[in-house]
Amino acid sequence: MRVAVVTGAARGIGAATVRRLVADGCHVLAVDWCAGADAPYPQGTEADLASVVSSAPGQVIGHVADVRNIAAIRAATDRAIQTWGRLDVAVAAAGILTGGTSLWDAPASDLALAWSVNAAGVWHLAAAAVPAMLAGPDPAGCRFVAVVSAADHTGLFHLAAYNASKHAALGIVRGLAADLAGTGVTASAVSPGSTRTAMLDRTAELYGVTTDELVAHQLLARPLAPEEVAASIAHCCSPLGGAALNGGVVRADGGFR
């Protein structure tokens, strides 16, 4: 039995990742802040999280926690360990989009929110999960994976705060991988392209375009399904597949250009 903690798990890529890891035999603590309407655009809800849990009763536990709060994330990882006795996988899939204006016109709150969720949220999960992995029965099979974005390597119009946070998240993963050298535990990232999620809808709204226009920037010529991105994440989480990806980023972006 392998045990995973997944943040941003109530919907989208996070929820698809929970389901894929369950299919691969993992027990999963599914974590989400369940902010609903209390955010710049609608987020997952407790009902969404309950739906994820009900898809695999006994194998998934829902846990409401905010990745911006390191104490809350430590409590989440502690719950997984107390429930199942170990921790093998941590997936930082929580993310939020801010932007819609040039950097100099953007409110400070844009950077604060993007940074606290997209960058600090990755840091917090790593800080909480990695010590448990190192102390567990099989460090060589343990995997930390962060979901980043095409914004981790490309400047995107009117999304400077989001860009900064995703560049930072990838930097955190690379620094973590260096810190883990020789331990067997690995850290990697997955960079999705336009995926059929609420964030894609929000991006189209900020730009005043359709999602079809956004999707035209990837060679696949259609939006990725969350399940397709989750398959790449699960590969990074696997004991065999994840090892060679240590310190790297998987561009699961459908040919973004």
Fold designation for 2-250: Rossmann fold (3.40.50)
Query: Catalytic site residues?
Result: 162
- The answer to whether residue 74 scores a pLDDT higher than 90 is yes
Q: How many helices (H) and strands (E) does the chain have?
A: 9, 7
Q: How confident is the model at residue 36 (pLDDT cuts 50, 70, 90)?
A: very high
Q: How confident is the model at residue 56 (pLDDT cuts 50, 70, 90)?
A: very high
**% of the chain residues with pLDDT over 70:** 100
Distance CA 138, CA 97 (A): 36
Distance CA 78, CA 68 (A): 17
Domain spans, the chain: 2-250
Q: Per-residue pLDDT tens for 127-164?
A: 999 999 999 999 999 999 999 998 888 899 999 999 99
User: What is the mean pLDDT of the segment spanning 12-33?
Assistant: 98
Nearest to 15 by CA among 41, 46, 53: 53
Q: Per-residue pLDDT tens for 214-231?
A: 989 899 999 999 999 999
Between 50 and 155, the more confident residue is 50
pLDDT for position 154: 86
Nearest to 10 by CA among 40, 34, 35: 34
pLDDT for position 217: 86
Q: Per-residue pLDDT tens for 75-104?
A: 999 999 999 999 999 999 999 999 999 999
User: What is the mean pLDDT of the segment spanning 235-257?
Assistant: 95
From 27-31, 124-128, 179-183, 200-204, the region with the lowest mean pLDDT? 200-204
Is the pTM above the cut of 0.85?
Answer: yes
Beta bridge partners of 249: 189
Name the one residue in this structure whose structure tokens are 């606290």.
116
pLDDT for position 93: 98
